[in-house]
Amino acid sequence: MSFQNPVFIPGPTNMPESLRKAVDMPTLDHRSPLFGQILHPALDGVKKVLKSETAKIFIFPSTGTGGWETALTNTLSVGDKVLAARNGMFSHRWIDMCQRHGLDVQIVETPWGAGLPADKYEEILKADTNHEIKVVLATHNETATGVRSNIAAVRKALDAAGHPAMLFVDGVSSIASMDFRMDEWGVDIAVTGSQKGFMLPAGLAIVGFSPKAMAALETATLPRTFFDVRDMGNGYANNAYPYTPAVGLLNGLNESVKMLLDEGLENVFTRHHRIAEGVRQAVNAWGLELCAVSKDVQSDTVSAIRTPEGFNATDIVTHAADKYGVAFGVGLGEVAGKVFRIGHLGSLTDVMTLSGIATAEMVMVDLGLDIKLGSGVAAAQEYYRNNAV
C-alpha cells in the first residue's frame, strides 16, 4: 500500500495537511480554560454543520458506533419499541445494537439498494394508535450500498401519522458532505464521527440532541456511564470532560468545521455531488450498474458498483491494493463479493478522483472484465470539464 495515493474507501477519508497538523499538538491541561478555547468553538461549529439552533452537541472519545450507543442508552429503557428499516450493513448493525440493549425492534426488511420506505413507516406509525413506538431509526446514507435516503420524507411520515416518536438519524457518512438539516427535518438525535465528512482520524463520536431528546433523559433507564450525556454536559460547563478528552482530535475538529464553513456548506455539498456524478458517468461508460436502485437514492459520498455475475468483486479491492497501492471498499453483508465501493467523500478533488477511476479501470482489465481502458476516465473528464466551478 502506498502512502502517496489517496484512499477511495468511504471512511476514514483523506486528511488535509492542515488538519493533520491541527491534530498534532503539545499536551495541555484538559481542565484549563485553554481547553475550553478548543472545545467550545468545536461544539458551536458542529451545531452549524448540523444546521441546528437548538441542539445540544456532545463529543465522545469513540466512533460513530459509540454515537449510536449514546443515542439509545440516554433516551430509552429495556422493552421500548423502536421502528427501523434494514437496507444495508449499517442499518443492520444499528438494529443489532438495539436488540442487544433489550429494545423491541420492529424491522422493515428493505431491499439492499433501496432507500428507507417512508410510506411503510407512515403505515406502521398510523397503525400504532397507542403510540408505543418511541423512536424511528433512519440511516441517512447506507455506506454499504451507496444509498441516500430522504429524511424529510421520514419526518413527513411521522407528521402525517401525528405520531410523537423521536427520529434518530445515523449521518455518519452524510453529515459534512451531503445536505443535512437537523432542525428543518425534525431530527431528535443526529449521529456522526470524525473520520468521514470531517476528514479527521477516527476517534470522535459526535452527536446532536434536540430538546425533545434531552427531555427523554428524564425517563430513560438503560444503563449508561461512559456515554452519559448529562455527565458530559456538566463537564462542558467547566471547560472539561468527565474523563480525559481527545484534545488533539478536538483541535482538529475545530479546524475542520472552520474549513467546511469557509468553503461554505452548500459548496461542500455541490463539490461532493460533482465528484460523485463523475464517478457515476464512469460506471455508466464501463457498462456496469450501481447497487442503488434509482437515481433519486444515489449517494454523493460512496458508489457501490455491481460486478458481473460469477465475478468476485472483492478481487478488485485486493488487486488494487496489491498492484497499485490504492484502496477501494469491499462489499459488506448481503452484497459481499457482489459490489466494490468507491468512496468519494471528504477531502477530494476532481483530479484525485480521476486517478481512482483510472486505477479501477486498470484493475478490472487486469482481472479480465470487458472494460475499455480510458472509457470511464474519458466520461468523467468530460463531465468535470463541463461542470468545473
Ligand X SMILES: *Cc1c(COP(=O)(O)O)cnc(C)c1O
| 193 contacts ligand X (rule: CB under 6 A) | yes
Q: Which of 69, 170, 188, 350 forms a contact with ligand X (CB under 6 A)?
A: 170
In the complex, least distance from residue 178 CB atom to ligand X, rounded to whole angstroms: 12
Cβ contact 254:47 at 8 Å: no
DSSP state string for 207-272: EEE-HHHHHHTTT--S--STT-HHHHHHHHHTT--SS---HHHHHHHHHHHHHHHHH-HHHHHHHH
Q: How many CB atoms neighbour CB 330 within 10 A?
A: 18
Q: Which of 45, 64, 252, 346 forms a contact with ligand X (CB under 6 A)?
A: 64
| 173 contacts ligand X (rule: CB under 6 A) | yes
Subset of 198-217 contacting ligand X (CB under 6 A): 202
Q: Rounded distance, CA 334 to CA 145, Å?
A: 10
Task: Determine the number of helices (DSSP H) and then strands (DSSP E) in the chain.
Answer: 13, 13
* 28 or 202: CB nearest ligand X: 202
Q: Which of 11, 186, 235, 376 forms a contact with ligand X (CB under 6 A)?
A: 11
* 13 or 359: CB nearest ligand X: 13
| 143 contacts ligand X (rule: CB under 6 A) | yes
In the complex, least distance from residue 247 CB atom to ligand X, rounded to whole angstroms: 19
Q: Which of 90, 121, 227, 328 forms a contact with ligand X (CB under 6 A)?
A: 90
| 115 contacts ligand X (rule: CB under 6 A) | no
Q: Rounded distance, CA 223 to CA 38, Å?
A: 30
In the complex, least distance from residue 144 CB atom to ligand X, rounded to whole angstroms: 8
The half-sphere exposure of 128 on its side-chain side, counting CA atoms within 13 A, is 24
* 103 or 377: CB nearest ligand X: 103
Tell me which residue of 368, 362, 280, 275 sits closest to 321, measured CA to CA.
362
| 65 contacts ligand X (rule: CB under 6 A) | yes
* 115 or 193: CB nearest ligand X: 193
In the complex, least distance from residue 67 CB atom to ligand X, rounded to whole angstroms: 7
In the complex, least distance from residue 172 CB atom to ligand X, rounded to whole angstroms: 4
Give, in degrees to the nearest 5, the angle at Cα 300 between 297 and 304: 70
Report CA 253 to chain centroid distance, whole Å: 16
In the complex, least distance from residue 183 CB atom to ligand X, rounded to whole angstroms: 21
Choices 22-30, 139-147, 265-273, 291-299; region in contact with ligand X by CB under 6 A: 139-147
Q: Which of 14, 63, 73, 210 forms a contact with ligand X (CB under 6 A)?
A: 63
Identify the DSSP state of 335: G
Q: Rounded distance, CA 71 to CA 4, Å?
A: 38
Q: Rounded distance, CA 42 to CA 46, Å?
A: 6
| Pairing of β 141-142 and β 289-290 | unpaired
| Residue nearest to ligand X as judged by C-beta position | 64
Choices 170-178, 241-249, 271-279, 320-328; region in contact with ligand X by CB under 6 A: 170-178
H or E, element range at 66: helix 64-75
Q: Which of 13, 139, 239, 256 forms a contact with ligand X (CB under 6 A)?
A: 139
In the complex, least distance from residue 150 CB atom to ligand X, rounded to whole angstroms: 15
Number of residues that bind ligand X (CB under 6 A): 13
Phi-psi region of 169 (alpha: psi -120 to 50; beta: other; left: phi over 0): beta
Choices 49-57, 96-104, 165-173, 234-242; region in contact with ligand X by CB under 6 A: 165-173
Cβ contact 86:95 at 8 Å: yes
Under the rule (CB under 6 A), what is the footprint of ligand X?
11, 63-65, 90, 139, 141, 143, 170, 172-173, 193, 202
